[in-house]
Amino acid sequence: MKLFAFALRPFDELGYLEALSRELGFTFAWTEDYPTLDNAELAAGADALSIITNPMTPELLERYHQMGIRAIATRSIGYDHIDLAAARRLGIRVAHAAYPPEGVADYTIMLMLMGLRRAKLVLKQAEAQDFSLEGKLGRTLASCTVGVVGTGAIGACVIRQLAGFGCRILACDPYPKDALRDQVTYVNLETLLAESDVVTLHAPGLPENHHMIGTGELALMKPGALLVNAARGSLVDTEALVAALESGRLGGAALDTIENEAGLYYLDRRLDVLPHRDRAVLMALPNVIVSPHMAFYTAEDVEHMVRSSVGALDAFCRGEDSPFEVR
């Protein structure tokens, strides 16, 4: 297999890819640039492409197909940035990545604790030498009812970690897991929202989940509740979220991902005027934490993302199947 990797990070992913190429016996070339029609020729002669969360449009897929590319893998769990219908029409096999759930689960718990203890306000005021207590009264996680929306691998890991805090845990999922029933009570989404002090989202970014938390759902939440999202930005209607926060009904939010973040994260945009007003509003609020979609970012997870996605491409090029293929 000859592989070309787009948007490869030299400070972490490159080392893992080099080690994997020696292990599996493939060759590769790479660039830090994201794939576009203008730089598509960089992949000339390659059998397969490794990408990250950049849009793979029908036009781009058509160009790669003309160049002989028959397999593409994204170094991410999510694959909604790839036009799957166009890929299938062209006969391009698509794969995604997998990684241990503990990294995102750890980060989720951290976001909960930071939100409940008003860490953003505490730290910002401490920087200005304001060490007062007024307005910084927090809550213990043990005193809360936590609602977990989505009990896949990451949601289940969050539940296992939450159990150690002694809090009451509710869960909502169209496919309840019997193995979790001794730790959670499964309820419908409406009940979960109405009874939870903290709501954490771990649902996939599928079309049917678009804006699963909107004006109506936010109105159901307990006054003063905390919303945590370390899953997909599309799950939350940002305009509705801002309105709920500005009205004072929602106690706060801790977000690792928001809508329309493409073109922002993992890039240095310090000198740019960013056309993302919703993000600016959220960042300005003292009770909202916005981190740049990096809950996954641990050494263990990055290695697994490279290994699982590239391993799938190696299998495709040998005419074999992979558990990471998107069908």
Average pLDDT over residues 11-24: 97
Q: Which of 232, 279, 304, 307 is catalytic?
A: 232
Q: Which of 293, 303, 304, 307 is catalytic?
A: 293
In the annotation, is 63 catalytic? no
Average pLDDT over residues 106-116: 98
Is residue 60 over pLDDT 90? Answer: yes
Give tens-digit pLDDT for 128-143.
999 999 999 999 999 9
Q: Which of 96, 261, 304, 307 is catalytic?
A: 261
β-bridge mates for residue 51, sequence order: 74
Distance between CA atoms of 142 and 33, rounded to whole angstroms? 45
pLDDT confidence band for 53 (50 / 70 / 90): confident
Q: Which of 224, 279, 283, 212 is nearest to 252 (CA)?
A: 224
Q: What is the pLDDT of residue 130?
A: 97
Is residue 205 over pLDDT 90? Answer: no
In the annotation, is 217 catalytic? no
Average pLDDT over residues 317-323: 96
Percent of the chain's residues with pLDDT above 70: 100
| Domains, in order of start, for the chain | 2-99+299-317 (3.40.50.720), 102-290 (3.40.50.720)
Residue 314 phi/psi, 5-degree rounding, is -60, -40
In the annotation, is 293 catalytic? yes
To 5 degrees, how large is the angle CA 78–CA 107–CA 163? Answer: 110
